[in-house]
Amino acid sequence: MKRIFLNLKIALGSLGNFKLRTALATLGVVFGTFSLVVVGNLSDSLALKTEQEIANLGNNLIIVVSGQVRRHGPSTPLISRATNLTPGDAEAIANNLPAAARAAPSGFKAFPVRRGNTVLKAIAVNGVTPDFGEVRNFEIAAGTPITEEDNRLQRKVALIGSATAEKLFGEENPIGKTILIWRVPCQIIGVMAEKGADIAGNDQDNQIFVPLKTFLRNFVNQENVNIIYVQAVSVEAIEPLRKEIEALLRVRHGIRKEMKDDFTVLDLKEVTALKSQAMGLISVLGRIAAAASFLIGALGILSIMILIVNERRVEIGIRRAVGSRKRDIILQFLLESSFISVSGGIIGMAAGFLMSLAIAKVLGYPATVSVPGLLLAFAASALSGIVAGIYPSFKATQIHPVDIIRS
Amino acid sequence: MTPLCLMEDVRKTFRMGDDAVEVLKGIDLEIVPGEFAAIMGTSGSGKSTLMNLIGCLDVPTSGRYLLAGREVLGLQDDDLSVLRNAHIGFVFQSFYLLPYATVLENVLLPTLYREKTVAHTEERAVELLRLIGLEARMRFRPNRLSGGEQQRVAICRALMNDPELLLADEPTGQLDSKTAAEIMNLLAKMNERGKTVIVVTHDPAIAACAKRIIRIKDGVIVDEQAA
């Protein structure tokens, strides 16, 4: 231990002569560990963010959309319309498929909303059943939820999002007040808890919920819904349940074998897959850049080590004369080169750590520390130092005390 | 008494391209424990080569060389290192202290490569430095010391592993005559304490300090005399 310490001290004294060159030599390792740590932390952040988003949308959620949609990451543009997805379909799913815990049919459309002189031009109005909150993880901050009775009696009641409440009422308590949605006066019975943006970036706090039957009768005057949210009993049940729903709806909609579905069943893994793919690509590119940096770093350290070995020919000769074996010399210089690279690596890791925190903050992702990423960065920096030290330390063993003393 | 160094018909040939140059042409030499010997010769006489062989820095091309009863010819590089570490202390003309280490660390250098760890190494190093009067400067870097002081530190380093043989190559070559005399006195003192001392020099005044003078010329020992 003492020996390592003394050797390092001597090495540092020698490196002091080449401060700038040493700094430049380690730059590659600095960038290498930097990008490894950034990529590691950010992909963990994104995974966590996606997980949170999915949980935010609803646990074990399957979404049945009317018509055919093109799956394109978070956005799902409609490519064909259909008008035959009904609340009855939702009931059939909930009642006939044991893997479905709940099914919440929902219709939505944007309407102008007015209260006194305040007019909001287009607020999403959702017709929902009492199960909606449970299935979609929506909670009520104040007031009462929409009940079965509200729905059955087509009561003109509404739950409003926290942002909508803020816009319409400011500091005032909205509960019990009446607002005009399109041309339907509705009494506010509750305010939703804050939920933030959804996976596609829409503000979920700026919308209104009314009983589904009220919505269908008084707002859109139709029988069909846009969407059915289905909660599976478990994560494992999602995949089989999707197939069961497809089969059930094909029968209910009378779709013959060769015909295409007039609905689309989405599972959130698919919706987030594209995002993960993008991050996966960034990770791969980051790792390639890191590998290139480590290569450059190793070459830099190689050159500085050759310089150091040449500068310390006398020292090596003396060490050999007083009894160091070749393997002692090899060990010494490998230790020195890995010390240089690990020092650079630690700087890069610290910088990468700060950078990933900053990026996560800007993107609004949760900040995470990828421990495997840090370990990989550390190992890679140590390894590049060792690899860089092999040739110089071998050269060092070629220095013979006799050559030194003869001068 | 069993000799510390025993050479029988030692020859050393160097290859210079296609030519083979025989530098040592059959050396017979016996050094017994406790001797203080000087090896004298002009440059090119082969004295440096002889010193390298005695010091196990190099191996003979042919002949026999026993150091402390061990045959050196045929030993591997690492075995020679171990042998040097345990049995020989070197003192060089240019001192060769490590510039980035302190005086104390320089003295401790041979202990880094010792096969067995020995207790109280640092105390022993400090004790040696006290003996030469440099204890107060043991935390200094060598460049703050005078030439004579550096050479005394180098002698401490040579003594650190308590070797039987002190091998000094022109130890006073870079020192003024007064300092040179001090260094030779120090070597003589070590000899009195039981160390075998061999000094390699071209300077008759330095050789005169030794009890035995071995003259070498053109690769053979030409004259031996007790001083």
pLDDT at B116 > cutoff 60: yes
Distance between CA A6 and CA A93 in Å, rounded? 75
Distance between CA B110 and CA B113 in Å, rounded? 6
Residues A280 and A168 in one domain: no
Range of the domain at B39: 5-226
ipTM of the complex: 0.93
What is the overall mean pLDDT for chain A?
88
**Rg from Cα positions in chain A:** 33
End-to-end C-alpha distance for chain B, whole angstroms? 21
Contact residues, chain B, for A13 at CB < 8 Å: 99-101
Residues A372 and A252 in one domain: no
Residues A252 and A359 in one domain: no
Lowest mean pLDDT among B79-93, B107-121, B189-203, B210-224: B107-121
Is A405 at the interface with chain B, CB within 8 A?
Answer: yes
Determine the pLDDT at residue A6: 77
Determine the pLDDT at residue A178: 92
pLDDT at A347 > cutoff 60: yes
pLDDT at A73 > cutoff 80: no
Residues A108 and A182 in one domain: yes
Q: Do A380 and A294 meet the contact criterion of CB atoms below 8 Å apart?
A: yes
Is A331 at the interface with chain B, CB within 8 A?
Answer: no
Determine the pLDDT at residue A407: 54
Residues A131 and A182 in one domain: yes
Residues A309 and A388 in one domain: yes
Count of structural domains, chain B:
1
Residues A136 and A184 in one domain: yes
Looking at residues A188-206, what average pLDDT do you find?
83
Where does a domain end: A231, A261, A291? A261
Residue for token pair 């345990």: B86
E strand or H helix at A130, and its extent?
none
Determine the pLDDT at residue A324: 92
pLDDT at A103 > cutoff 60: yes
Query: pLDDT confidence of A44, banded at 50, 70, 90?
Result: confident
Q: Residue A4's closest chain B neighbor by CA?
A: B112
Which residue among B77, B112, B169 sits closest to A326, beta carbon to beta carbon?
A: B77
Determine the pLDDT at residue B89: 95
Is A322 at the interface with chain B, CB within 8 A?
Answer: yes
**Is the residue at A65 inside a domain?**
no
Determine the pLDDT at residue B145: 94
Residues A338 and A366 in one domain: yes
**Is the residue at A43 inside a domain?**
yes
Looking at residues A232-250, what average pLDDT do you find?
90
CA B227 to chain centre: 20
Identify the CATH number of the domain in which residue B20 sits.
Answer: 3.40.50.300
Distance between CA A276 and CA A272 in Å, rounded? 6
**Is the residue at A68 inside a domain?**
no
Determine the pLDDT at residue A1: 66
Over residues B42-76, the pLDDT tens digits come to 888 889 899 999 999 999 999 999 998 889 988 99
**Is the residue at A42 inside a domain?**
yes
**Is the residue at A72 inside a domain?**
no
The residue of A318, A319, A397 whose CB has the most chain B CBs within 10 angstroms, and thus the best one to mutate to test that interface, is: A318
Count of structural domains, chain A:
2
Closest CA to A128 of A11, A261, A37, A227: A227
Range of the domain at A394: 2-53+273-405
Q: Are strands A227-232 and A61-66 parallel, antiparallel or unpaired?
A: antiparallel
Cβ contact A10–B58 (<8 Å): no
What is the overall mean pLDDT for chain B?
91
**Is the residue at A398 inside a domain?**
yes
Q: Residue B94's closest chain A neighbor by CA?
A: A405
Is B52 at the interface with chain A, CB within 8 A?
Answer: yes
Is B110 at the interface with chain A, CB within 8 A?
Answer: yes
**Is the residue at A227 inside a domain?**
yes
Determine the pLDDT at residue A50: 79
Q: Residue A13's closest chain B neighbor by CA?
A: B100
Looking at residues A40-67, what average pLDDT do you find?
83
Residues A113 and A182 in one domain: yes
Residues A111 and A220 in one domain: yes
**Is the residue at A60 inside a domain?**
no
